[in-house]
Amino acid sequence: MVKFDDSVGYESQASVSGRRVWINRCSGGDAIGRNPTGMKFLRLFIVSFGLLCLLQATLNITLRLTLITKRNLTDSCAAVIKNLTDENEKLKRTQDIFDEYIKQGWFYFSNHLYYKSETKKSWQESRQDCLQRGADLTIISSREEQVFVRNFLSAWIGLTDNETEGIWKWVDGTPLNTSYWHDKEPNNANSNENCGEIGYHGKLNTWNDKPCHSENYWICEKMVM
């Protein structure tokens, strides 16, 4: 009977296992898995790279927002400058027109211009002259305006009851609400006093009714453009 040596087979198996372990260590197969310092370095590198990417993205967004804001501010400033330039040109044109009216003998009060004639005409002729000047006979709409206009002394104003006796209206068709008639006026003397004039008697109430065909100075009024 032939006998086999089991110890030889066992030693051969142990020898093979030893060689495998030795080869594995020499090849570095478990170097990273068994090296904590290497793993920490790798993690630190990944985290740092991620933070750098995040910082870059933040800087890009901030830069874009800054550029957009700057562009918006530039556009806004340009719009403001244009508006100011337009307003300045408008004011200059208004000033030129205003100066021209002053040279022609107009007076300024509360955003209105007033002109008193140097000759006398009937009420209707006086109104026609005002219309040719781009104005109309003056309409007195406040106490302050009454005080101002009465300084022109006796002159036609844009007040008449030609349509209906006793119903006084202004030349723009509005009814007379607040009046400044002189004592016992209007009295429609001789039944033909249908046009209003303003005078100066040292007090507030200075209106008088007078025949429309009578000749008198007149006062034109127009708004400042």
Note the pLDDT tens digit of each residue in 133-142: 999 999 999 9
pLDDT exceeds 60 at position 12: no
The H-or-E segment that residue 160 falls in is strand 155-160
Candidates 181, 117, 164, 171; CA nearest to 139 is 171
Rounded to whole angstroms, how far apart are CA atoms 143 and 140?
A: 8
Percentage of residues in the chain with pLDDT exceeding 70? 78
pLDDT of residue 35: 59
Amino acid 8 reads V
Radius of gyration of the chain (CA): 51
Higher pLDDT, 114 or 40: 114
With 0-12 / 13-18 / 19 or more C-beta atoms within 10 angstroms meaning exposed / middle / buried, residue 219 is buried
Rounded to whole angstroms, how far apart are CA atoms 221 and 149?
A: 10
Over the stretch 63-89, which tens digit does the pLDDT of each residue have?
A: 777 777 767 777 777 777 878 887 888
pLDDT exceeds 90 at position 182: yes
Over the stretch 110-149, which tens digit does the pLDDT of each residue have?
A: 889 999 999 999 999 999 999 999 999 999 999 999 999 9
